[in-house]
Amino acid sequence: MTIRHVTIVASPYARHGAGLHVAQDAAGLLKAQNVAVDIIVGEDMADAADLAGKAARGDTDVLAIAGGDGTIRLAVEASIGSGKPLAVIPAGSGNDFARNLHIPLDTAEAVQVILDGHRRPVDLGRVSFPDGRTALFATVAATGFDAAVTARAIDMRRPRGQSRYTIAALFELIALRSRHYQVRVDDDTVEADLILAAIGNTTSYGGGMKITPKASVSDGQLDVTLAKIPPRFARPTLARVFPKVFAGTHVDHPLVQTMRGGEVELYCDPPALVSVDGDLVGELPAVFEAVPHAIEVFTPPTPAPTPS
């Protein structure tokens, strides 16, 4: 594929304003290789998504996203079905989608991935609510404790990066409560009091928290992690298990159950919030389904070590 024109969707909110600077740096690198570039910056995220959708259906060769996982999700929503390949120039706080595709976090190296031209098909997930609303996600859909952490982290101005989610999680741990879930993964069902249920297209969210450590973006399946309530609701037990999520070893704990399937249905009482790719999109009940090979993304031809 000959790349003559790239449109960069820049998030002015990613990494507290760094997204636009990353987009400008990437544009300069592309122009130095005789690639024409347009940068899209909407008045807000909804406007940016609308402009991205129009660009994807225009004459541009590549739609590149300079932002984090939330910006990627909005751009994917806007451009799905256009047939245009997507590129990721990491500029977010977490960058979990980029990490799972081994896309370098360094801007110059991410631009080189585009110029090298290697692409691969990538799965997405889709969540559907009873009122007909749907949302795509590229990384993880979270409910219960996870989504509450996301809600708190969104409201926190500091600290930046991964530590914001860690601190939000500690605050939520203090006020933690369980919910009674009914879970269906394809033909298998579970009914239990849970603290969280996470549905992963990728291994991680929140900047490397490996909530679904065996998930793959190319297997046509969603991985599910269920965290059950400990005996006598012991918060010290949860405090010991929580740090294990950064290595993905929490799944070995007897309070954690994992499942895998193409369709996941969740009910819970009381209702729990649902977040996808770090954005709050509704509350349970909901159905989550894998969307195999939904988009094509520029990636390195062979996996490189995952950035730390």
Q: Which residues are catalytic?
A: 279
**Which of these, 127, 266, 289, 130, lies nearest to 191 by C-alpha position?**
266
Q: How far apart are CA 164 and CA 243, in angstroms?
A: 14
The answer to whether residues 268 and 194 touch, using CB atoms and an 8 Å cutoff, is: yes
Distance CA 88, CA 307 (A): 15
CA dihedral (96, 98, 101, 105) positive or negative? negative
Q: Please name the amino acid found at residue 273.
A: L
28: left (phi over 0), alpha (psi -120 to 50) or beta: alpha
Cis peptide before 285 (omega within 30 of 0): yes
Distance in angstroms (rounded) separating the CA atoms of residues 165 and 29 = 32
Rounded CA separation 92/307 (Å): 14
Q: CA-CA distances (angstroms) from residue 135 to 29, 48, 140, 260, 271?
A: 33, 17, 12, 20, 18
